Amino acid sequence: MIPVGYELLAIPAFIFGVILLYKGSDVLVDGTVKTAAQLGVSALIISVLLVGFGTSSPEFAISVGAAAQEVGVPVEEQTGISLGNIIGSCIANLFLVLGISAIIKPIKINKGIIRREMPITLGATIVLLFSSFFGLLDNYRLYGGFLFLILFIIFIWFFIRCAKKERIINKKYKSSDTWKSIIFIFLGIIGVVAGAYLLIESSVTIAYLLGIPTFVIAMSMVAIGTSLPELVVSAVAAYKDESDVAVGNVLGSNVFNMLLILGVAAFFIPLNAIESFDNILILLLVTFLMVPIVYTQNKISRLEGVFMLFGYGLFIWYIFVGYQFI
């Protein structure tokens, strides 16, 4: 049931959400680039660690929050939002977010992405697939949760180590300048997350009114909504020729989504992953398709961006048509 007066607030909330998303992402990209320069590390490292984590916070709030609310609820009565949101968001990040960003401006691919970030993202997806098949997110979810969190800690340790190795002392900047830039990053994250939240709420309400199952909502409308921070940040970064931020944000966010968020959610409830095995296979296929796109010509072209958007459209068609025949 829609609260009285909600429809009057929906449009202003939508407009305000768009403004917050745009301004927040603008501040976030600038803060990221300056922080990277001041710390003497690549913008790619900062994007994977800080920006990737920040733009994943809507997924964390929705997936972990949904799991916590369903503790004690029989499996057959659970909504499937936790896992559906993550699968849908990861697919949206790769094909929708990077597709739109590449159409705005072709994205140059840093060698670090080819050597490091893309293999890690692919590896995390393969771990998710096998964990789902062997029940590590269902019957043996506590073991699976520990495994995912241990892999996540290793991921963070590895990138902090890379940051230390790649560090170049830049005497041009004062330490106070670095803190200001980091504050800009967090202010930008707050802006994009708040803006995304305002847009998510209206989408979910419309879907409920249309009688669409929550898992389908989670994989489509909620997933797109929680991917809005990544979308706006990457699109603005692409426009500003900050390709490392555009791609690092997406790949970092996907690893955070799969390892951290699903790892935590698995401690609350079985995620019924085996029932979503076909959608996890689609996520793996999408991730595999990204490999030749990233490796060829060291860039994502506008034509490849169009292909990615078309692929995402097929995915949305599949989950809605699949729902019709269930």
pLDDT for position 75 = 55
Domain that holds residue 129: 6-324
Asked, for residue 107, whether it belongs to a domain, the answer is yes
Asked, for residue 241, whether it belongs to a domain, the answer is yes
Asked, for residue 294, whether it belongs to a domain, the answer is yes
Structural domain total, the chain: 1
* pTM given for the model: 0.79
What dihedral angle (degrees, nearest 10) is formed by the CA atoms of 247, 49, 156, 82?
-80
What dihedral angle (degrees, nearest 10) is formed by the CA atoms of 68, 198, 213, 276?
-60
pLDDT for position 143 = 93
pLDDT at 82 over 70: yes
CATH code where residue 105 lies: 1.20.1420.30
Closest CA to 254 of 79, 113, 65, 81: 113
User: For the segment 1-42, what is each residue's pLDDT rounded down to a tens digit?
Assistant: 445 455 555 556 666 766 666 666 666 666 666 666 666 666
Asked, for residue 1, whether it belongs to a domain, the answer is no
Lowest mean pLDDT among 73-77, 82-86, 139-143: 73-77
User: Percent of the chain beyond pLDDT 70?
Assistant: 62
Asked, for residue 43, whether it belongs to a domain, the answer is yes
Lowest mean pLDDT among 43-52, 119-128, 265-274: 43-52
Distance separating alpha carbons of residues 322 and 212, to the nearest angstrom:
12
Lowest mean pLDDT among 39-43, 162-166, 266-270: 39-43
